Structure 1
Amino acid sequence: MTEPRVVSIVPYKILPARLGGEKGIAVFNEYVGERVPLLAISTKNNDVSATKNYKMLNWLSNSRVRYVNIFLVLTIRKLIKQHNATHFLIEHPYYGWLAWLVKKSTNITWVVHSHNIEFERSKSIGRWWWKGLKLYEQWVYKQSDINFFISEDDRSFAIEELEINSAKSFAITYGVEIAGIPADIPQARKIIAEKHDIRSDEKILLFNGALYHHTNYEALQVILDKINPVLLAQAIPYKILVCGKGLPAFFNELKPYKDKNIIYAGFVDDISIYFKATDIFLNPILSGGGVKTKAIEAIAYNCTVISSTIGALGLVRSVCRDKLHIVADEDWATFAELVKKAMIVNSDTATAFYDYYYWGNIAVKVDTILTNKKGRSVDA
């Protein structure tokens, strides 16, 4: 059986990978690249020295014109021939038109790596042209040979709502790079406690994200106005750490909340230390589509996650088990009660979680699919 060889196109900057979306592609490439040869083409503003186990050519323009550059057909065809590629993978459906034209003139297997249902996301944030995007996205998934969806929820939605062939659709989730509970949790707890003057008897609660984004700063406002006041009234000592860059000026660096158990840490270079030190991760998200990668990362670091329903979309509850507690959107009284309970009773992340979410295991699944799914006919 012929070994898969992949050429992929990444439509935007992912290196160095810092945010969840960037990691979702960069780390996917790193682990899949351990198993199959992978060459990516992406934008000029990528730092190609940050690649690991795969190669990247930063040939694409940083301009939006790159999305409609017809000359890319010749470039991709040449790369496929030079590298004897068996698969052409597009990140997101944006370059579906390109993959369709390339497939017309080559014997390549076309793969779409979806990171959310794009038209649903556009609809949720009020973009008037979401219906046109829906038709295009549906066409791309129907024309491709293999579709990788970021969750079982997205896969089911595509099959049921967009009538995509289930036999060529797979859930390839966002993963984690640790295969089990970290051994250095006590050391991380000590480092963070000393840095932020947190007592040993205080529970550590964490909220982090790109705070300039309305999805995150609205969730932070919920923590400040709805959740923390309830926690202040109970006897269990705690501190809430807030991490992330771009906090809007009207929050005044959270100075008014210093005497209310709120600590603003700002942007941190290594969020993993904070995850390891944390007992409970707060995820009261109220908008935005796709899988919330920080919730997956939190559970991997043995944090218990208390989340709104929207904040838990796409997570596999059966493997998260007692580390994930989901509350109906805007039911902040129940949310606060679950936080209080988690302060008292807390379990460890199950082995089943790492079996499902560890990138090494995900890469094995991808390799198997690519090996077995070649030369499939396209459904109309």
Structure 2
Amino acid sequence: MKILIISPFRVYPIHCGFSTRVYNLTKQLSYSNSVFLYYTDYNKKECNPDDCSFLPNVTKRNFKVSYKFMQLINPSLIFEAVSAIKKEKINIIIAEGIWAGPHAMILSFLTKVPYCFTEHNVEHVRWKRMGRKYPGLLRIFEKYCCKFSKKIFCMSNNDRQQISELGVDINKLTIAPNGIDTLQFRPRTSKKYDLARKLKLDVESPVILFFGNLSYTPNLQAVQIIYEKIIDSVLEAIPNVKFVIVGSNPPLQFQHEAMIFPGFVENIEDYINASDLVIAPLISGGGTKLKIIEAIACGKTVLTTSIGAEGLVDESTRYFLKVIDDWNDFINFIVDFLKNPIVNDLPSIFIEKYSWKSIGEIISKEISMY
């Protein structure tokens, strides 16, 4: 089968949940299909030569753009994609996120090749929670991206329900959740000593980890909550605790002697494995959180909010995912857990559900009819 995947953002180097998903599922689909990946790149930094060598089994085309709107409508991408669709006899187009929707709809109209649509988040819900402008207009745009697609891949039952409320036929919606690289994200207890040495910490100091792109509003809000509502109360009970906040664009306005900002790291799995507890005090955003899945895959307990846990509460996560919305109760859980840690074995059902291989098989099965 020949598949054209369209991404409105740079895919590699992997820098966020979006690129993690597109990279890994493109890789999975390329094992048994001919895959073409066309993506726009608004990143102002020049690519390293190695950046263009990723996914060697995939035919890639990077369209550098000077204006953000060209991520939505790019004449060069449309022209070259039409040519590739006709020449290669491509069977199906996969649009990654609603920002790839216009390209997919135009290409499908011009070539009569059907397209599928990946809802990384239910975007109009996410925008509304974040207080961004015009969520109503975005809702209309999202509805039409879904309406003309043959199949929609969403991350959870919760997302499936929210998308169906747009008037989309629920039978078009298939759950293909976010996942993890099971070789990269796995329990490794020795990393505690490595991190203590690297960050010059006492190995006996409990480590609480939060990670993500720190310029993204929901993650920035979470850091502010840690700084304003959580850290001092935890320190009163456990004076040697350290909060390690990992991610690009660290908000250094939140300076505290017990907060450490290593910045962006290549090996986040080592930081997860070195931590005693992972927290995600999120109050906005949408979709399922890769950071939570990755932490659980390393055998870590994750403390989060109802928004953070959306779409992730089920039998496979029940012993690892703790959901608390009251900040006093949130603090009490942290203190109790650090004083009396609980270690559980990761159930096989979790790996079966969240491995990229399993998710790739779901997508392959759904698109095989085209």
- What is the TM-score when the length of structure 1 is the normalising length? 0.86
- SS in structure 1 opposite 2:98? coil
How far 1:61 moved relative to its partner?
3.1
Which residue pairs with 1:378 in the alignment? none
- SS in structure 1 opposite 2:167? coil
**Residue of structure 2 aligned with 1:23, choices 20, 45, 59:** 20
- With over 3 angstroms needed to count, the CA separation of the structure-2 counterparts of 1:337 and 1:52, relative to structure 1, is farther
Residues 238 and 335, structure 2, Cα contact 8 Å, conserved in 1: no
Given the alignment of the two structures, is residue 365 of structure 1 paired with residue 370 of structure 2, yes or no?
no
Structure 2: any 5+ residue segments left out of the alignment? none
Q: How many residues align?
A: 360
How far 1:356 moved relative to its partner?
0.7
- SS in structure 2 opposite 1:318? coil
Structure 1: any 5+ residue segments left out of the alignment? 375-380
Distance in 2 between the 1:208 and 1:76 partners?
Answer: 37
Greater Cα shift, 280-289 or 338-347: 338-347
How far 1:62 moved relative to its partner?
4.3
| 1:151-193 Cα deviation digits (max 9, x unpaired) | 221112111x11211222111121100169735x132122112
Residues 130 and 218, structure 2, Cα contact 8 Å, conserved in 1: no
Alignment of 1:280-295 (within 5 A): 280-295=277-292
How far 1:111 moved relative to its partner?
0.6
Greater Cα shift, 343-352 or 82-91: 343-352
**Residue of structure 1 aligned with 2:298, choices 280, 283, 301:** 301
Distance in 1 between the 2:184 and 2:109 partners?
Answer: 44
The letter of the residue matching 1:83 is E
The letter of the residue matching 1:132 is L
Given the alignment of the two structures, is residue 193 of structure 1 paired with residue 192 of structure 2, yes or no?
no
| 1:228-265 Cα deviation digits (max 9, x unpaired) | 233223358533222223223423xx2xx32xx43333
Given the alignment of the two structures, is residue 231 of structure 1 paired with residue 251 of structure 2, yes or no?
no
Given the alignment of the two structures, is residue 58 of structure 1 paired with residue 62 of structure 2, yes or no?
yes
Which residue pairs with 1:8 in the alignment? 5
Which residue pairs with 1:322 in the alignment? 319
| 1:283-334 Cα deviation digits (max 9, x unpaired) | 1111222222211111111111000111222224321111100012xx1111
Which residue pairs with 2:36 in the alignment? 39
- With over 3 angstroms needed to count, the CA separation of the structure-2 counterparts of 1:242 and 1:125, relative to structure 1, is closer
- With over 3 angstroms needed to count, the CA separation of the structure-2 counterparts of 1:60 and 1:224, relative to structure 1, is closer
Percent of aligned pairs sharing the same letter: 26
Residues 180 and 300, structure 1, Cα contact 8 Å, conserved in 2: no
Alignment of 1:1-380 (within 5 A): 4-43=1-40, 47-59=51-63, 61-66=65-70, 67-69=72-74, 72-159=77-164, 161-178=165-182, 182=186, 185-234=188-237, 238-251=241-254, 254=255, 257-258=256-257, 261-328=258-325, 331-343=326-338, 344=340, 345-372=342-369, 374=370
| 1:316-355 Cα deviation digits (max 9, x unpaired) | 4321111100012xx1111112223332123233221111
Greater Cα shift, 61-70 or 111-120: 61-70
Residues 36 and 367, structure 1, Cα contact 8 Å, conserved in 2: no
- SS in structure 2 opposite 1:320? coil
Distance in 1 between the 2:199 and 2:116 partners?
Answer: 46
CA-atom RMSD in angstroms: 2.4
Distance in 1 between the 2:160 and 2:111 partners?
Answer: 27
- SS in structure 2 opposite 1:369? helix
| 1:264-290 Cα deviation digits (max 9, x unpaired) | 333333211101111210111112222
How far 1:60 moved relative to its partner?
5.4
- SS in structure 2 opposite 1:51? coil
- What is the TM-score when the length of structure 2 is the normalising length? 0.88
Residues 38 and 77, structure 2, Cα contact 8 Å, conserved in 1: no
Distance in 1 between the 2:246 and 2:66 partners?
Answer: 29
- With over 3 angstroms needed to count, the CA separation of the structure-2 counterparts of 1:347 and 1:85, relative to structure 1, is same
- With over 3 angstroms needed to count, the CA separation of the structure-2 counterparts of 1:285 and 1:197, relative to structure 1, is same
